[in-house]
Structure 1
Amino acid sequence: MNLNKIVVGSEEWCNLPHLNIPAIKARIDSGARTSALHAVNITPFTKNGEAWVSFDVHPLQDDGRTTINCEAPVLGKRRVKSSSGVSETRFVIESALAVADEAWTIEITLTNRDSMGYRMLLGRQAMAGRIVVDPEASFLLGEMTSQMLDGFYNAHVSRPTGLKIGLLASDPSLYSNKRIMEAGQERGHEMEFLNIKDCYIKLDGRNPEMHYRGGRILNDFDAIIPRIRPSATFYGCALTRHFEAMGVYTLNSARAITQSRDKLYSLQLLINNGLTIPTTGFANSPLDTNELIRMVGGAPLIVKLLEGTQGKGVVLAETKKAAESLINAFKSLRANILVQEFVKEAGGKDIRCFVVNGKVVASIMRTAAPGEFRANIHMGGVASLTKITQEERRMAILASKTLHLKVAGVDIIRGKNGPMLLEVNSSPGLQGIEGASNKDIAGIMIEAVEKELKFKRC
C-alpha cells in the first residue's frame, strides 16, 4: 500500500500541461472508470500518417469566450453512455495530469460537458495507485482566485467583434441555452441571455420599444434566437413578434413558433402539403369517443394533449376500455386532445432530424427505455447516430419549410408502409443530437444567423 498517495477532495483544480490548460476545475469521481474533458469543435485529421484530433476547450464553467485550441494523437474511440442516457462514441487521447507537484499520464475521453457542473471528470483509472479521495472535502490542493485565472487565460479570451445576439429563453442553465451562448461567444459575438419573464413591451406606432428588468431599453440587438418553453408560448411569441416589428432578425419567427405549438393546426398544414402522419382524430364532444377510437384503428392507441411537449401529456391506451376512460377523463377536464394511431412496428423508436436553414444537419435514432413507449431521452431513452433515407430527409426539410421554421427538430417514425411524421419542434434540444453526432449544432445555428445578416468573420 502506498502511504504517500495524494489526498484530494470531491472537486479540485487540475493542470493538463500537454494541452496548455494550466487550471481546470475537475469533479473527482471514483464511481466513474474513465476521465472526460469538455471539448467542442472536435475534428479528426491525419498528421505524419497518424490519426490526430483537434478540439477547443473552454476551461472555465459558463464561459464560452475563453478558448484553448488543442490537438493530440488519437489513442482510439470508445462507446460511452452518459448519465443523461445519450450513447456516444468519444475520441480517447492521452495527457499529462499535474497535481500537488506530481505528474503522470492519463487517458481522457473528449465530450461536450455543458450539461455537467464541471469541465472535467477525473475517473478512478487516472487515480489508481496515486490518489485517495475525501468525499466530504473540496479543494484540498488549493483554490484558484479570479486574478490567478485571469493571469492564466487573459490572452485566450476572445473579445466581441461581431454581432449582438440575444437568446430569448427561460432557463440559462439548460444545456441547449448554454451551448448557444458558448457557440456565439466562440465566434466573437456579444451574447446576452434575455429571460422571457423579465422583458416587457412598449406599443407605439412610431417608436416601439422592448424593455428589460430595471427599465433598460433593448434597442441594440442584431438578432434574437427564441427558445420558448411551451408554458410561455403566448408571451414569448408576443416578445418575438415585437422584436420583429423593431427590425431585429429572429432565427424562428413568432408565426412559425405559434404554428408549430398548435399540434392540430400544424398537422393540418403538414398533411395539406402531402406529408404522411399516423391516422389522427380530434373531436369536442364525449359522445364521439367510440367513433374516435374506431377511426384510428382501435386500441392500442395514443392520446395526446395539444399543449404537451417532450413526451409529457402523451399516454398509451392499450385497450378499448382504457381508451374510453382516458379520453372521457380528459374531456371532462375540458382538455383538448388528439387521438392517434399506435404504430407498433416502430418498436419504441423514432428519428429526430435537426433542420437548420432547410438542411438536415444531423439525425439520431431515439430508443425508448424498457417498459416505455415514448422514445425520449428525458424519460430514460437512448440516443444514437443514425443514417436517414432520402424520403425521410425530404420529409424533414418539407415539414420545416411548411411551418416556416429555420430551426426545427422533426420527429419521424418508420411504419410498415414507410416513414410517417410525428411532430415538428420549434425549440429542439441540443444535448441528445450533439452528444450522439459529435457535431457543433449550436455553432451551426449561430452560422445561420451570420448568413442571414451577411456577417463574415475575419
Structure 2
Amino acid sequence: MNNKKIVVGSEEWCNLPQLNLPGIKARVDSGAKTSALHAVNISPFIKNGEPWISFDVHPIQNDGKTTVHCEAPVLDKRRVKSSSGSSEIRFVIKTILSLGDEAWEIEVTLTNRDSMGYRMLLGRQAMSGKILVDPEASFCRGELSKETLLGYYHTHITRPTGLKIGLLASNPDLYSNQRIIEAGQERGHEMEFLNLKDCYIKLDGKNPEMHYRGGRILNNFDAIIPRIRPSATFYGCALTRHFEAMGVYTLNTASAITQSRDKLYALQLLINNGLPIPTTGFANSPLDTNELIKMVGGAPLIVKLLEGTQGKGVVLAETKKAAESLINAFKSLRANILVQEFVKEANGKDIRCFVVNGKVVASIMRTAAPGEFRANIHMGGTASITRITPEERRIAILAAKTLNLKVAGVDIIRGNNGPLLLEVNSSPGLEGIEGASNKDIAGKMIEAVERDLKYTRP
C-alpha cells in the first residue's frame, strides 16, 4: 500500500477553489473514467483570443436557489457516455481539486446533473496516483454541516424574479416533488410546497378563498402543479378545482385527473378515440364470471382493482380455476374490478412514455423483477432508455390529449399485433425516468407552465 495516497470514501466533500466552490459533495466512482460537474446555462465565449466557457453551478443538492457563476478556459469538447447509456458532447475544463490538505489539477466535464444524486462525480482519471477508495466509508476527509455550507454560499442565494408556483402534494421528501421545486427555483421562480392535508377551502360566491395551516390565505399564486396520490384523489381534486375557480392556472386540471383515476371511464374514453388496449371485461354479478373469463381469451389473465395504482391491486391468475376464485373473492368484497387479457409476448416489459404539453419528452423500457409479471420499478423492476416507434409516440400523445392531461405517464406494451395502451398516469414519478434517460424532466414541466402562462425568462 502506498502511504502517500489519500484514502477516501464513496462520497466526499470537495473544494474547487478556482471555481469559488469551497464545498460540493462528490460521488467517488472508480468505474467512471471522466469526472463531471453539475452545470447549467453553459455558454462559450472568447477571451483574449482564447475559447472560454461560462456556466452556473447549483452546488447544494435539491437547492436551485444557490447559484455560483463560474468561468474557465475550454480544454476540449468530448463525447461522453453516461451511466444510463446515453451520450452527449460536453465541454471539458481543468481546475484545482482540494481534498483535505492535498490539492492537484483535474479535468472535469460540464453537464446537467439535476437528475443525479450528486452535484459532482469524481472519476478514476482524477484519482490516478493520488487516491485509494474505501467503498464502505464516507466523508473520510471530513463532513460539512448545513451551517458551514450556508456560510460558504449565503451571498450566492438568488432572489426569485419569476412566477409564484405551488406544488400541491402529500410528501415533500419524495424525489419527484424535490426535483420539481428545484427545477422551478433554478429558473428563477418562487416555489412553495403545499401539503394538501393542510389546505382548506372557503366557498363564497363573491370571494372564494384557499386557506392554509395557521389561517394563511393562499391568494397570490400564478400556477399550481398538482401531484395527488390516489388515496387523496377526492380531496386533492377538490382543492385543485378550487384553485381553478380562483383563476389560478393548474398544470393538470381537476377534471383531467379525476377521469384518469377512473380506470374504466378512462379506458372507455381511450377506445372511443381509436386507441388500442388489451381486451378488457367488466361485470357486476358473480353469475357472469365464466363468461367474463371467456371474453378476454381465458387464463392466464389479469385482474385489476379499479382503485389500484403503481401495480397495487393487479393480480395474475394463471389458471381458469384461479381466475374464478379471484374474481368471485373480489366480488364478494364488493370491489370493482377489470378483467384483462394477459399479453404473454410482452415478456414482463412495458414502455413508459412521459408526455408534457403534447410531446413525448422521454421514454424508458421497464422490465419486471424475477418472478414478477409487472414491469414496476417500485416492485424491484429495472428501467433503461429506449427508442419508441412512431406509432407508440402517436398513441402516447393521443392518450394524454384524450384525457386532457398536460403531463402524463403513458404505459404501453408491445403485443404481436402492435402496441397496446395499458394505462395513463396523471401524477407520474420522475425518479425512474430521469435516472434512466438522464434528462431534466422536472425542468420540462416548469417550462410547460411558463409556456402556458406566456412567461419569458429574463
TM norm structure 2: 0.86
How far residue 324 of structure 1 moved from its aligned partner, in angstroms, is 1.3
2:80 is aligned to 77
Residues 303 and 80 (structure 1), Cα distance of their counterparts in 2 relative to 1, 3 Å cut: same
Which piece of structure 1 moves more, 319-328 or 263-272? Answer: 319-328
One-letter amino acid of the structure 2 residue matched with residue 13 of structure 1: W
Instruction: Evaluate the alpha carbon distance shift between residue 311 and residue 34 of structure 1 in structure 2; reply closer, same or farther with a 3 A threshold.
Output: farther
Is 1:286 aligned to residue 286 of structure 2?
A: yes
Task: Give per-residue Cα distances to partners, 1:81-128, cap 9 Å, x unaligned.
Answer: 6xxxxx766888786532112134668786746574x54465788667
Q: Does 1:146 align with 2:137?
A: no
Find the residue that maps to 1:268 and give its secondary structure. helix
| TM-fit CA distance, 1:310 | 1.4
SS at match of 1:80: coil
Question: What pairs up with 1:260-299 in 2 under 5 angstroms?
Answer: 260-299=260-299
Match of 2:38 in 1: 39
Deviation at 1:446, TM superposition (A): 0.8
State the alpha-carbon separation in 2 of the partners of residues 341 and 4 from structure 1: 64
| CA deviation vs aligned residue, 1:183-215 (integer Å, no higher than 9, x gap) | 111111000001111111111111111111111
**Residues 57 and 68 of structure 1 are in contact (CA less than 8 Å); yes or no, is this contact kept in structure 2?**
yes
Task: Give the CA deviation at 1:75.
Answer: 5.5
Counterparts in 2 of 1:344 and 1:17: CA distance versus 1, 3 Å: farther
Percent of aligned pairs sharing the same letter:
74
Using the TM superposition, give the Cα deviation of residue 370 of structure 1 relative to its aligned residue in structure 2, in angstroms.
2.8
Q: Distance in 2 between matches of 1:2 and 1:359?
A: 54
User: How far is the alpha carbon of 1:390 from its aligned partner?
Assistant: 2.3
**Counterpart in the other structure of 1:16:** 16
Quick check: 2:159–2:188 contact (8 Å CA) kept in 1? yes
Judging changes above 3 Å, is the alpha-carbon distance between structure 1 residues 424 and 195 closer, same or farther for their aligned structure 2 residues? same
Task: Compute the TM-score of the two structures, normalised by the length of structure 1.
Answer: 0.86
Distance in 1 between residues matched to 2:441 and 2:434, nearest whole Å: 6
Q: Say whether the 8 Å CA contact 2:413–2:421 is kept in structure 1.
A: yes
Separation in 2, partners of 1:134, 1:442: 31
Partner letter of residue 147 of structure 2? S
- Residues 300, 187 of structure 1: alpha-carbon distance in 2 compared, 3 angstrom cutoff: same
How far, CA to CA, are the matches of 1:183 and 1:441 in structure 2? 9
Change in 2 beyond 3 A, CA 1:325/1:282? same
Tell me, in whole angstroms, the C-alpha distance in 2 between the residues paired with 1:429 and 1:37: 26
Q: Which residue of 1 aligns with 2:424?
A: 424
Q: Deviations along 1:255-309, whole A, 9 cap, x unmatched?
A: 0000000000100111111111110011112221111110000011111111111
Q: CA separation in 2, counterparts of 1:149 and 1:44?
A: 27
SS in 2 for 1:204: coil
Residue 221 of structure 2 aligns with which residue? Answer: 221
Gaps of 5+ in 2: 47-51
The Cα of 1:228 is off from its aligned counterpart by 0.5
> For residues 236 and 437 of structure 1, do their structure 2 counterparts lie closer, same or farther at Cα, with a shift above 3 Å needed?
same
CA contact (8 A) 1:115 1:174 kept: no
- Seen in structure 2, the aligned counterparts of structure 1 residues 191 and 372 have a Cα distance that, compared at 3 Å, is same
Structure 1 stretch 269-278 or stretch 53-62: which is displaced more? 53-62
Q: Residues 149, 238 of structure 1: CA spacing in aligned structure 2 closer, same or farther, 3 A cutoff? A: same
Q: Alpha-carbon deviations, 1:409-450, whole Å to 9, x = none?
A: 111112122221111110111122222333222111111111
Which structure 2 residues correspond to residues 298-337 of structure 1 after superposition, within 5 A? 298-337=298-337
Q: SS of the residue aligned with 2:3?
A: coil
Q: In structure 1, the residue corresponding to 2:83 is in which secondary structure? A: strand
CA spacing shift, 1:143–1:399, aligned 2, 3 Å: closer
Partner-residue secondary structure (3-state), 2:409: strand
Distance 1:297 1:42, change over 3 A: farther
1:383 aligns with 383
1:28 positional shift: 6.1
d(CA) in 2 for partners of 1:141 and 1:359? 45
Q: Secondary structure at the match of 2:98?
A: strand
Contact 1:40 1:55 in 2 (8 A): yes
Q: 1:366 to 1:40 in 2, by over 3 A?
A: farther
Asked if structure 2 preserves the Cα contact closer than 8 Å seen for 1:199 and 1:213, the reply is yes
Please give the alpha-carbon distance, in whole angstroms, between the structure 2 residues aligned to 1:131 and 1:434.
Answer: 31
Q: Which moved more, 1:402-411 or 1:55-64?
A: 55-64
Conserved? CA contact 1:35–1:123, under 8 Å: yes
Residue in 1 that maps onto 2:131: 130
Is the CA contact 1:64–1:183 (under 8 Å) kept in the aligned structure 2?
yes
- RMSD value over aligned CA atoms? 3.3
Matches within 5 A, 1:161-200: 161-200=161-200
Determine if contact 2:37/2:108 at 8 Å carries over to the other structure. Answer: no
* Contact kept? 1:13, 1:139, Cα under 8 Å: no
Distance 2:190 2:409 in 1: 26
- Alignment partners' CA distance in 2, 1:285 and 1:203: 41
| Preserved CA contact (<8 Å) 1:6 1:100 | no
Do the aligned partners of residues 223 and 94 (structure 1) sit closer, same or farther apart at CA in structure 2, a change above 3 Å counting? same
More deviation in 268-277 or 431-440?
A: 431-440
CA deviation after TM superposition for structure 1 residue 150, in Å: 4.0
Write the deviation string for residues 205-241 of structure 1: whole angstroms up to 9, x where unpaired. Answer: 1111111111111111000000001111111101101
* Structure 1 position 18, deviation (Å): 6.3
Tell me if structure 2 keeps the 8 A contact 1:36–1:120: yes
Contact 1:42 1:438 in 2 (8 A): no
